[in-house]
Structure 1
Amino acid sequence: MGSRIAVVDIGTYSTRLLISAFQIKDSFEESIETIHDILSVGKITALGRRLKETGYLQEEAINDVLSTLKEYVLIAKEYHVERIIGFATAACREAKNGPELLEKIKQLGIDVKLITGEEEAYLSFLATAYGVRPEGDFVVIDQGGGSTEFVYGRKNNGYSMKDAVSFPFGIVSLTERFIKTDPPAKEQLSQMRDFIKEHLKQIKDYSSADQLIGLGGTITTLVALEKHIFPYSSFKVHRQTLSRESIKKWLEKLSQMTVEERKSIPVIEDKRAEAIISGIVIFDTALEFFGKDSITVSDWGLRHGAVIKHIMERFDG
């Protein structure tokens, strides 16, 4: 008989639920092979809105997150999960009223934990290593709403995380900081690119990796746009490759549109239309900086990493 677990990712930009089934086999590796997604849903709740300017999570954003989580708890109970675990990231780390929100989330019956950027990077690493199965050295770019994690991993008799850094910028913070017109001016995007490059100088040695792997809603949306995947299918998006050429093409195309025009594209969710440009700039800048002409895309992210870690603990414990 298999086990079921629900994982909730409370991000700066979106709140997402994953219900996974798995079986504990003789080895960790065999158990990982049994992971099966029963349900994966997400809603853009923009928890980090106006956080940079006020230092606080806005009441409206808190209410949006809590009402979404109440719905997720009901869904998880219908699927008879063993546990509902939750992870809060950048917005809750930064906000003065972050601890209050965590208390309210616990009251809903979610075993929630505020994780550091490094812990976030480790979960992204696990999801990528076991979800994509890269060879050699690889760099994971997990782009979020309030932070972006860069992880250096290696395959050599199993997977190991060699280094990780969490930068305090994501699509929400970059959009609020640099994009002042609609559509954005070229100068604004160029300033954003310079800002990202300054941070990347800290990890220039990552460019020796064989492969880049991208995570997050921006890069998976780009795959859906490029490969005409609608309605969205994680199965069709997972492990696809995007060339730098196609990323540049979509950056050029979408940055010339207004937010309203981007919203009219079926593949792009309404709220994502507001911040997707910043996400594309992050990936395009990283590809240029590391001298790579393509990136592999993973639909497995923090939530899958949490399922893998949960299985790992069964073996370690």
Structure 2
Amino acid sequence: MRAAVIDIGTNTFHLIIADLTHGGADILYRTTVPVLLGQGRINENMIIPEAFERGIKTLEEFHRQIIAHDVAIVKATATSAVRSATNGQAFVDKAKETGIDIEIISGDQEAAYIFNGVQATGVIQQTSLVMDIGGGSTEFIIGNEQGIVWKKSYNIGAARLMQAYFHSDPMSESDHHAITTLLDQTLDELKTVCAQYRPAALIGSAGAFESFAALLNNGEEVRAIATMPLDIAGYKALSARLIASTHEERVHMKGLISLRVDMIVIAAILTNYVLEHIPFKTLHLSTYDLKMGILYALKTQYGK
């Protein structure tokens, strides 16, 4: 069975086409497009016209690839930017004209798919906290080899926080403090359940964590592997450098893609906050995330 998964995120749109079998998912084609659907007015719950148009044009190209690859089943999901936008349904309706039927998934569904993707790497060997920093939301999932024990999606994505709080170059202490105060107000439940379940590992799902890994590995591409350990001390030194850096300095950092040049600062602050409040023993990257979780769910349903 040949399947296509489209992940319509706040920053990027992803397309994966794969053949599904009992043995796994053989990826034939994949692409990522920096659509920036949440540009400009995400905190006003609005997809601006320019972003709306970029999104539709990207889906038109995705549909061409789906036809060219003779795909049998398509699963397209939209997350925070679309589900919170007052014109999100209008975007879904317009996308249908391109041949793409979009399902707007809840934060809970998003978290479950993320865990499914991370679990497929085999990295979850003990009780762990999975963290996925998106543009519109950030998901936290506690789970073990048997599955999920707790999950929650918070509207503290990197694009949202950047638009609301990143007003200086480099980031000012007052902006940094404002974000930390917001996290204090938002993440009490996360800290409580982590004290209860005591996850030993923090696993970062793709996105910013791929950038952290690349920066820690001299700019080397990490997408060819499913998972890798990250040195916590090395990460903390890197995060301090990122938060103190200017935009221009980050532009020249080897391994940092243009999409994340500024949002990586927000991602570092979010990750630091979690590391400071929860005593993890290890830190890992999973390059499998939401889209791979959906793909593996389809494999379970349709693989032969």
Q: TM-score, normalised by structure 1?
A: 0.89
CA distance in 2, matches of 1:195, 1:36: 42
CA distances 1:67-90 after superposition (whole Å, capped 9, x unpaired): 222222222222222122211000
Q: Does the Cα contact within 8 Å between 1:8 and 1:303 map onto a contact in 2?
A: yes
State the partner residue of 1:275: 263
1:121 shift after superposition: 0.4
Shift of the 171–304 alpha-carbon distance from structure 1 to 2, 3 Å rule, reads same
What is aligned with 2:134?
144
Moved more, 294-303 or 192-201: 192-201
User: Deviation at 1:8?
Assistant: 0.8
Mapped contact 1:21–1:36 kept (Cα < 8 A): yes
Larger mean CA deviation between 45-54 and 163-172 belongs to 45-54
1:20 partner letter: A
Counterpart pick for 1:235 among 224, 228, 248 = 224
User: Which residue identity does 1:46 align to in structure 2?
Assistant: L
4+ residue stretches of structure 1 with deviation over 6 A?
Answer: none
Residue of structure 1 equivalent to 2:278: 290
Aligned to 1:172: 159
Matched residues in 2 for 1:93 and 1:53: separation? 12
Q: CA separation in 1, counterparts of 2:263 and 2:212?
A: 13
Cα distance change, pair 133–58 in 1 and its aligned pair in 2 (3 A) = same
1:188-199 alignment runs, 5 A limit = 188-199=175-186
- The answer as to whether partners of 1:144 and 1:216 remain within 8 angstroms in 2 is no
For residues 245-268 of structure 1, the C-alpha deviation after alignment (integer angstroms, 9 at most, x for no partner) is 222222222223322332233422
Inter-partner Cα distance in structure 2 for 1:191 and 1:104: 38
Q: Match of 2:15, SS?
A: strand
Match of 2:34 in 1: 44
Offset, 1:93: 1.0
Equivalents in 2 of 1:243, 1:199: separation in Å? 27
Partner of 2:86 in structure 1? 96
Identity of matched residues, %: 24
Show CA shifts across 1:254-313 (max 9, x none): 223322332233422223212110011111211111112531111111111111111233
- Structure 1 segment 242-281 matched on structure 2, within 5 A: 242-281=230-269
270, 288, 293: which one pairs with 1:300?
A: 288
In 1: Cα distance, 2:206 partner to 2:49 partner: 26
Q: Following the alignment from structure 2 to structure 1, what is the Cα–Cα distance between the partners of residues 234 and 55?
A: 34
Matched, 1:21 2:10: no
Measure, in 2, the Cα distance between the counterparts of 1:178 and 1:216: 24
Select which of 126, 141, 155 maps to 2:116.
126
- Please state how far the C-alpha of 1:17 moved relative to its aligned partner: 1.2
Aligned equivalents of 1:133, 1:49: Cα separation in 2 = 33
**TM-score for the superposition, normalised by structure 2:** 0.92
1:45, distance to aligned residue in structure 2 (A) = 1.5
Figure out how many residues of one structure are paired with residues of the other and give that number: 300
Amino acid at match of 1:92: V
Aligned match of 2:99: 109
Q: Deviations 1:120-147 (Å, cap 9, x if unpaired)?
A: 0010011111223411212111110010
The farther-off stretch of 209-218 and 163-172 is 209-218
Structure 2, unmatched stretches of 5+, are none
SS at 2:54's partner residue?
helix
